[in-house]
Amino acid sequence: MIRINDLQARVEEKEILSGINLEINPGEVHAIMGPNGSGKSTLSSVIAGREDYEVTGGTIDFEGEDLLNLDPEERAHKGIFLSFQYPVEIPGVTVSNFIKTAINESRKGRGEEPMEAREMLAKMREKTALLEMDKSYLSRSLNEGFSGGEKKRNEIFQMAMLEPKLAILDETDSGLDIDALRIVANGVNKLRSEDNAVLVITHYQRLLDYIEPDFVHVLYNGKIVKSGDKNLALELEAKGYDWIKEENV
C-alpha cells in the first residue's frame, strides 16, 4: 500500500529524517516506537504532506502513485488519515459540521456525490456509539475546551467517519485513561480489514495489547534502527531505549 524509500526530510536547515525505509501492506498493523525527538511525528507529518518539512531525498509511493507530488488534501482524498498528536481547536465550528465538510470535500475530491444527510446522521450516531461518546459532542466546537482524552477520542471518531485506507495514529494513546484506551483501541480494531492498514506511533505496550502489531520498528535519530515482530515492543518495554541508543552511537 505504501512504500517509503530512503526518505530524508529537514525543517529549518536541520535534518530530521535521514533515510527511512518502510513498507506497509494492506491488512497490516505497524508500530513505530522510539525516544522523544527521534522524528516520529515528523515522519507522520511528511506522509500527510505538511509543507513545513522539506523533503530532501527519497520517495513515497502510495498505491502506485508518487505521494510527494500531492497536496495534503489530495492525500486525504486518497485515504490517508493522521490522528494528530496535538489536535488543533477550531472555535465556532462544530464537530458535526467539520466532519460533514471533511467527508463531502473528500468525496468531491474523488469525484463522488456528497453523502445524503440521512446517511450522514446515521453514520454519526453509529460512530459516536462505537466510541461511547455522548451525542452532545457533535454540537461542540471542534476540540475547543476538550480534555486531552476527549481530543484523542475525537480524532478516532473522525477516523471512523472517514474510513481511511491508511490511518496513522500519532501517540493517540497519550492522555487516555484505561477505559478510554480500550474504547479507542476497539474503535481502531473495528476499522481494520484486509484492505486497510494502520501505523501506530506509541511509547507504550499497553496500546499494543489491544491493537496487536504485525511489525514493530524503532525510530532513532531519524532512522529505523531496528524492526521486529510484536515481541520487540515487549523487549523495549522491559529494557527501555538505552540499549538501542548504545547500539547506534
Partner 1 sequence: MSDEILDEITASEYKYGFTSDIESDKVPPGLNEDVIRLISSKKNEPEWMLEWRLDAFRTWSEMIEPDWPNVTYNKPNFQAISYYSAPKQTKTLDSLEEVDPELLKTFEKLGISIDEQKRLTGVAMDVVVDSVSVATSFKETLAEKGIIFCSMSEAIQEHPELVRKHLGTVVPKRDNFYAALNSAVFTDGSFCYIPKGVHCPMELSTYFRINEAGTGQFERTLLVADKGSYVSYLEGCTAPSRDENQLHAAVVELVAMEGAEIKYSTVQNWFPGDAEGKGGVFNFVTKRGICERNSKISWTQVETGSAVTWKYPSCILKGDNSVGEFYSVAVTNKFQQADTGTKMIHLGKNTKSTIISKGISAGKSHNSYRGLVRVGPRAENARNFSQCDSLLMGNQCGAHTFPYIEAQNPSAQIEHEATTSKIGEDQIFYCNQRGIGTEEAIALIVNGYCKEVLNQLPMEFAVEAQKLLEVSLEGSVG
Cα angle: 177, vertex 125, 152; to 5 degrees: 30
* Beta carbon nearer to ligand ADP, 10 or 123: 10
At closest approach, how far in Å is the CB of 11 from ligand ADP? 4
Please give the residue ranges that form the binding site for ligand ADP (CB under 6 A).
11-12, 16, 34, 36-42, 52
- Judged by beta carbon distances under 5 to 8 A according to partner kind, the member of ligand ADP, Mg ion, partner 1, none in contact with residue 38 is ligand ADP
Residue 112 binds partner 1 (CB under 8 A): no
Using the Cα atoms of residue 3, residue 232, residue 48 and residue 113 in order, give the sign of their dihedral. Answer: positive
Residue 58 binds partner 1 (CB under 8 A): no
Q: Find out whether 190 and 130 touch, Cβ atoms under 8 Å.
A: yes
Out of 92, 134, 238, 246, the only residue in the binding site for partner 1 (CB under 8 A) is 92
**Closest to 219 (Cα-Cα) out of 27, 59, 54, 16:** 16
The pair phi, psi for residue 126, each rounded to 5°, is -60, -45
* Beta carbon nearer to Mg ion, 45 or 96: 45
Q: Which residues, in sequence order, are CB contacts of 239 under 8 Å at separation 6+?
A: none
Cα angle: 173, vertex 176, 180; to 5 degrees: 105
Scan for cell 475525537, then name that residue.
154
At closest approach, how far in Å is the CB of 248 from ligand ADP? 15
Positions 155 through 184 that interact with partner 1 (CB under 8 A): 158, 162
Q: In this structure, which long-range contacts are made by residues 127-134, counting pairs with CB atoms below 8 Å and at least 24 apart in sequence?
A: 127/157, 127/160, 127/161, 127/187, 128/157, 130/160, 130/186, 130/187, 130/190, 131/156, 131/157, 131/160, 131/183, 131/184, 131/187, 132/183, 133/157
At closest approach, how far in Å is the CB of 164 from partner 1? 10
* Beta carbon nearer to ligand ADP, 9 or 99: 9
Here's the x/- map for Mg ion, 84-103, by CB under 5 A: it reads as -x------------------
- Judged by beta carbon distances under 5 to 8 A according to partner kind, the member of partner 1, Mg ion, ligand ADP, none in contact with residue 36 is ligand ADP
Q: What is the 3-state secondary structure (H, E, C) of 208-244?
A: HHHCCCCEEEEEECCEEEEEECHHHHHHHHHHCCHHH
Residue 77 binds partner 1 (CB under 8 A): yes
* Beta carbon nearer to ligand ADP, 131 or 155: 155
At closest approach, how far in Å is the CB of 234 from ligand ADP? 21
At closest approach, how far in Å is the CB of 14 from partner 1? 19
Residue 91 binds partner 1 (CB under 8 A): yes
Cα angle: 140, vertex 73, 70; to 5 degrees: 165
The residues that touch partner 1, with contacts defined as CB under 8 A, are 48-52, 71-73, 75-77, 81-82, 84, 87-93, 97-99, 101-106, 108-109, 114, 141-142, 158, 162
The residues that touch Mg ion, with contacts defined as CB under 5 A, are 40-41, 85
